Amino acid sequence: DGGITQSPKYLFRKEGQNVTLSCEQNLNHDAMYWYRQDPGQGLRLIYYSQIVNDFQKGDIAEGYSVSREKKESFPLTVTSAQKNPTAFYLCASSINIGSRGTQYFGPGTRLLVL
């Protein structure tokens, strides 16, 4: 089955701790994205990557970091600098970064602060 997987489904973070969310796709898509979803605010773009070893900041990149060492993987690290990390995080991918690149989403990771 082709698709996007995210793990873990739930993640707990302690104060001052960095945590990493996993996103893997086997769709052979070039572009990948991370969004944050909060109630009543829709989806906000954190980072996106057009190609391996390249990524760009989105609208709310502060307190987050990413890497794109492999085409199929785009992990997101929520650093201790992110003061309000509790949210639902969605990873997406598309064939390319162009305007017709329909985005397909993973099942999401819910991050909670202890």
Partner 1 sequence: AQSVTQPDIHITVSEGASLELRCNYSYGATPYLFWYVQSPGQGLQLLLKYFSGDTLVQGIKGFEAEFKRSQSSFNLRKPSVHWSDAAEYFCAVVLNTGNQFYFGTGTSLTVIP
Residues lying near partner 1 in the complex (CB under 8 A) are found at: 4, 6, 33, 40-43, 45, 48, 50, 58, 88, 90, 92, 97-108, 110
Considering the complex, state which of residue 50 and residue 73 has its C-beta at the smaller distance from partner 1.
Answer: 50
User: Residue 86, CB half-sphere, CA atoms under 13 Å: how many?
Assistant: 6
Instruction: List strand residue ranges (DSSP E) for the chain, in order.
Output: 4-7, 10-13, 19-25, 31-37, 43-51, 54-57, 64-66, 76-78, 87-94, 104-105, 109-113
User: Closer to partner 1 at the Cβ: 4 or 19?
Assistant: 4
For 82, left (φ over 0), alpha (ψ -120 to 50), or beta?
beta
Count of positions (residues) in the chain = 114
In angstroms, what is the minimal distance from the CB of 15 to partner 1?
A: 25
Report, in Å, the least distance between residue 8 CB and partner 1: 13
We find the least distance from the C-beta atom of residue 81 to partner 1, in angstroms, to be 24
Cβ-based nearer residue to partner 1, 81 or 107: 107
